[in-house]
Structure 1
Amino acid sequence: MRVLGIETSCDETGVALFDTERGLLADALYSQVAMHAEYGGVVPELASRDHTRRLLPLIQQVLDEADLGRHGLDAIAYTAGPGLVGALMVGAATAHGMARALGIPVLGVHHMEGHLLAPMLEQDRPEFPFVALLVSGGHTQLVEVRALGRYTLLGESVDDAAGEAFDKAAKMLGLDYPGGPQVARLAEHGDPGRLRFPRPMTDRPGLDFSFSGLKTHTLTAIRTLEAEGALDDQARADVARAFEEAVVDTLVIKCRRALDQTGLKRLVVAGGVSANTRLRERLERECARRAARAYYPRGRFCTDNGAMIAYVGAQRLLAGERDEQGVMKAVPRWPMDTLRQP
């Protein structure tokens, strides 16, 4: 089965073609980061309009790369949520329109399930069951994964997600959007011994996260340094290092607890923040201590992409799922624990 995957949940237009027998045939991505950087964050109306401009050319690019005509498609999968409703509607309308014209099934899939299973696109893929840490822009979650659709939410952020906290810390430090990579680069020059920020919610049991207090602590540290006339380039790097260390330590501590609680030996880490080098190094060491194994998607599949949507769509389409004819789905808020096993 050849499945076209469409991702338009936020600020990246992703398209990919996945073959259930041959694997990933082609993928393309257009990022809107440069456009939104001017505003310091994603502008929903601009995001929707840009998806409209980019989506059809990207679909043609992927089909050309795979040397396949539109009538060679067997099904289409698209991101139905969560995400920006206008952006989601662009992908949903395009997918349903194409599927209707071609007479093939179409299915709206869950964006976070795409991230969750993105490592399945790799040659060295994890087997079920495993614990998953999902750290994308607006989500920080720990999930026990027993099979496709068999998900138990172990913990999640009660306020800001880790990615949002990175973006806000970057803005405080005068860095460009998106903040995660900018903070990580600045942190490389920071002195790890100068400042120590709190590791939120690690002094109590449980697997939930909270990063709003860390954000406030970061702002207070910056203002204190400003008042002392000491906020030079080195101090900004020291703040970035302390902030990144606090986020990474918090995520690692919670992953350790999740592995201990479930007794599982496989950890999947996915979403944009999973590309953070310091986080990967720390998780590798933590897993080695427990005779466990960590799995990640390749770099370009850490952020939003069409390949993960095509993959998840293919698995659920093979199980017989599909949208009702003419019923498009665009669900801005969609808890992943409501998904069912096909």
Structure 2
Amino acid sequence: MLILGIESSCDDTAAAILENDRTLHASVLSSQDGIHRPFGGVVPELASRKHLESVYPVVAEALQRARITLDDIDLIAVTQGPGLIGSLLVGFSFAKAISAVTAIPFRGVDHMAGHILSVFLEEERPTFPYIALIASGGTTSLYLAEGYTSFSHLGRTRDDAAGEAFDKVAKLLDLPYPGGPHVARQAAGWKGDLISFPRAWLNEESLDFSFSGLKTAVLNHCRQQSQAGSELAVGQVCASFQEAVVDVLVEKTMRAARRHGIGTVVLGGGVSANARLRQALATRAGEQGLKCFMPRPAFSTDNAAMIALAGYHGFIESGPSAIDSDVYSRSSLG
């Protein structure tokens, strides 16, 4: 079965051609970073307009790279939510239009399911069940994955997502957008002492996350340095902030694995491209005797290959989506 995957949940337009759930023939992505950089964040109206311009060329390029045509496609998988409604509507409407004209079945996909399953795009795959940490600009959540379509939500962010916190701290430090990679780059260059920023553990039983207090602590530190007339060590702030985020993400993941007696942990979402997080989770998992799997960075950030994969399994399990189905802003997975 050849699946055309389409992703347009936020500010990247992506298309991919996947054969069953194993062979990736093409993966194409059109980034909007340059459009949103002057504003320091994604502008929803600009994002949806750019998706309108990009969706057809991106899908056409994916088909061309795979050396096939729409006549060869057996299923269209498309992100249905969560995300920016205007952005989602572009990709979802495009997929439904193709389906209506060609009679190719389509399957709406929850974006979180794509991230939870993105590790299966790699040669080395985990077995179920596993704990999945999904950290991105829009969410930070823990899931228990018991099958390709069976996910239980264990914990979520109560305020800022990890990626959102990275971007806000980057903006505070006058680093370019998107901020996450720039914070990580500054952190990697710092070799001195770290600032003792707070970790929001909440309580012993909680698997939820909170990063708003950490963001405020960074802001207060910067103000104190300014008021004292001291030069701000940007690398130190970035390294200290990053370490505080990573500590909480890793420890909560280990806590979830212990509580549920799970021997495998998986990392996904845009923040999982962060080298320090990948290294720390792999190290802690090894110390705890757990197996650790994570997709390469290209499959960690938003992409259409993971949507095609999740759509394939959703279709096998429940068949196609109804033509009158609609997009949603909040994840159906909790």
TM-score interval (norm. to shorter) = over 0.9
Match of 1:266 in 2: 264
| 1:245 pairs with one of 240, 243, 246 | 243
Any residues of structure 2 matched to 1:84-99 within 5 Å, and which? 84-99=84-99
Partner of 1:133: 133
Match of 2:9 in 1: 9
Between stretches 223-232 and 272-281, larger displacement belongs to 223-232
SS in 2 for 1:208: coil
| 2:254 equivalent among 253, 256, 274 | 256
8 Å Cα contact 1:190-1:239 kept in structure 2: no
Contact 1:3 1:76 in 2 (8 A): yes
**Aligned residue number for residue 117 of structure 2:** 117
1:305 and 2:303 aligned: yes
Q: Deviations over 1:197-231 (max 9, x none)?
A: 01112664321110000000000001111111213
Distance in 2, Cα, partners of 1:292 & 1:16 = 32
Change (3 A) 1:5 1:193: same
Aligned amino acid, residue 273 of structure 2: A
CA deviation string 1:315-341 (max 9, x = no partner): 11122421223x14210112414xxxx
Q: Is the 8 A contact 1:192 1:242 kept in 2?
A: no
Partner of 1:52: 52
State whether residues 32 and 47 of structure 2, in contact with CA within 8 Å, keep that contact through their aligned partners in structure 1: yes
In 2: Cα distance, 1:164 partner to 1:119 partner: 23
Question: What code does the residue aligned with 2:234 have?
Answer: R
- CA 1:16–1:203: 2 relative to 1, 3 Å: same
For the 8 Å contact 1:131–1:142, the answer to whether it is kept is yes
- Structure 1 distance, partners of 2:282, 2:180, is 20
The alignment-based identity, stated in percent, is: 43
User: Which segments of 5 or more consecutive residues in structure 2 lack a partner in the other structure?
Assistant: none
Aligned counterparts of 1:21 and 1:186: Cα–Cα separation in 2: 38
- What's the secondary structure of 1:107's corresponding residue? strand
- Deviation readout 1:131-162 (Å, 9 max, x if unpaired): 00000111000111111222221111111111
> In structure 2, do the counterparts of structure 1 residues 22 and 118 end up closer, same or farther at CA, with 3 Å as the change threshold?
closer
Q: Which runs of 4+ in 1 moved over 4 A?
A: none
Q: TM-score, normalised by structure 1?
A: 0.95
The total of aligned residue pairs comes to 334
The aligned counterpart of 1:146 is 146
Pairing 1:168–2:168 present: yes
Which letter maps to 2:330?
R
Give the deviation of 1:189 after TM superposition. 2.4
SS at match of 1:104: coil
1:322-341 alignment runs, 5 A limit? 322-325=320-323, 327-337=324-334
Could you tell me which amino acid in structure 1 is paired with residue 176 of structure 2? Answer: D
Secondary structure at 1:336 match in 2: coil
Unmatched runs of 5 consecutive residues or more in structure 1: 338-342
C-alpha displacement at 1:100, in angstroms? 1.2
Secondary structure of 1:307's counterpart equals helix
- Over 3 Å counting, the alpha-carbon distance change for 1:202 and 1:288 in structure 2 is farther
Q: Is the 8 A contact 1:202 1:250 kept in 2?
A: no
Code of the aligned partner of 1:263: G
Q: Greater CA deviation, 115-124 or 15-24?
A: 15-24
Q: Secondary structure at the match of 2:236?
A: helix
Contact 2:194-2:239 within 8 A present in 1 as well: no
Structure 1 residues 107 and 180: CA distance shift in structure 2, 3 A:
same
* Distance in structure 2 (CA, Å) of the matches to 1:118 and 1:243: 27
What residue is the counterpart of 1:104 in the other structure? 104
CA distance in 2, matches of 1:204, 1:260: 13
Deviation, 1:107, is 1.2
Structure 1 counterpart of 2:182: 182
Cα distance in structure 1, aligned partners of 2:254 and 2:330: 28
Q: Distance in 2 between matches of 1:151 and 1:66?
A: 31
Instruction: Go from structure 1 to structure 2 and tell me whether the alpha carbon gap of 1:21 and 1:251 turns closer, same or farther (over 3 Å shift).
Output: closer
Q: Deviations over 1:274-331 (max 9, x none)?
A: 0111111111111111211111111111110110001111111122421223x14210
CA offsets 1:147-204 (integer angstroms, 9 cap, x no match)? 1222221111111111111011001111111111110101122245241101112664
Deviation at 1:76, TM superposition (A): 0.5
CA distance in structure 1 between the partners assigned to 2:228 and 2:204 by the alignment? 34
Alignment of 1:210 with 2:210, yes or no, is yes
Question: Are the aligned partners of 1:157 and 1:210 in contact in 2 as well (CA < 8 Å)?
Answer: yes
Distance 1:216 1:62, change over 3 A: same
